[in-house]
Amino acid sequence: MSDARLIKKKISVDDKVSQLSMQSAFIFTWMLLFTDREGKLVCNPEILKGNCFPFVKELNAEKIEKSLIEIETAGLIVRYQKGNVQYCMFQSFLKNHTASALAREGASVIPNPEDCEIITKHPQDQLKTKSRVTRDIIEFDFESVYERYPKKSAKAKCIKKMNETVKNDIDYANLNKALTNYIAMVEEDKAKGFEKRAWKDAPTFFNNWNDFIDAETETQRTERLKKEKNEKLEKEMEAKKAKFYAEHPEFKQEET
């Protein structure tokens, strides 16, 4: 999670944000400060109260839950759950943050919506309680996705490709994620001196964007491997420790 988030001025005239009550707009904007680099965060109302609004006496878990329903109904977030933990993903997060800035943050440890159960608390919403979410394709802002691409060409063809491959909110989130990953990869290569690193033609990228959903920059890969190595060493040490005390029960008292 970043120490800061950029909230663009256009949020003040955003159609979806304008649908929110003052309380829900406040909660929505403050939640943005606590997301990971993919626009996801833990959003159990009790946890949000403690993490995001610890000194806001006017808010409690019940009021936060009502606002989450309002924010979701406006189409600003998708809420989902795994076990007893609730999460949410901000729908337009990736298109409003630069790929190079997000690439400097640690990898997300929050599961993706497609791996969890979608939460639906309000019958009037179009979201369904399934492993995937469906929406009318007209709601997806493919224009803004295209505008993020550094080497623009054949706009109509690109948007056609997006219409063919993006069928629901999860696909749309993955499309933005893939674009963020690809931009970060190319920008890192250029920063390392590979100035001739070429961008893919836009139609080629938008026809094969799925290839970049889990792509990593070299820096991200190094950080991930380092973390995995440390976690492996910690597990090995814990296993050796457990074995030692199992074989030498006389030392258990000294463990504490």
Any domain includes 85? yes
Residue 232 lies in a domain: no
Judge whether 219 lies within some domain.
no
> Would 55 be classed as within a structural domain?
yes
Residue 37 lies in a domain: yes
Q: What is the CATH number of the domain that holds 91?
A: 1.10.10
Strand partners, 41: 88
Please tell me the total count of domains within the chain.
1
pLDDT digits (tens, 9 = 90+) for 76-93: 999 999 888 999 999 888
> Residue 2 sits in which domain range?
1-133
For residue 113, tell me if it sits in a domain: yes
Cβ 77 vs Cβ 88: under 8 Å: yes
Residue 42, pLDDT > 90, answer yes
Q: Rounded mean pLDDT of 132-146?
A: 61
Q: Is residue 209 part of a domain?
A: no
Name the one residue in this structure whose structure tokens are 């080497």. 151
In tens, the pLDDT along 179-236 reads 888 998 998 898 888 888 899 999 999 999 999 998 888 888 888 888 889 999 999 9
Maximum alpha-carbon separation in the chain: 75
Question: For residue 127, is pLDDT > 70?
Answer: no
Q: Is residue 8 part of a domain?
A: yes
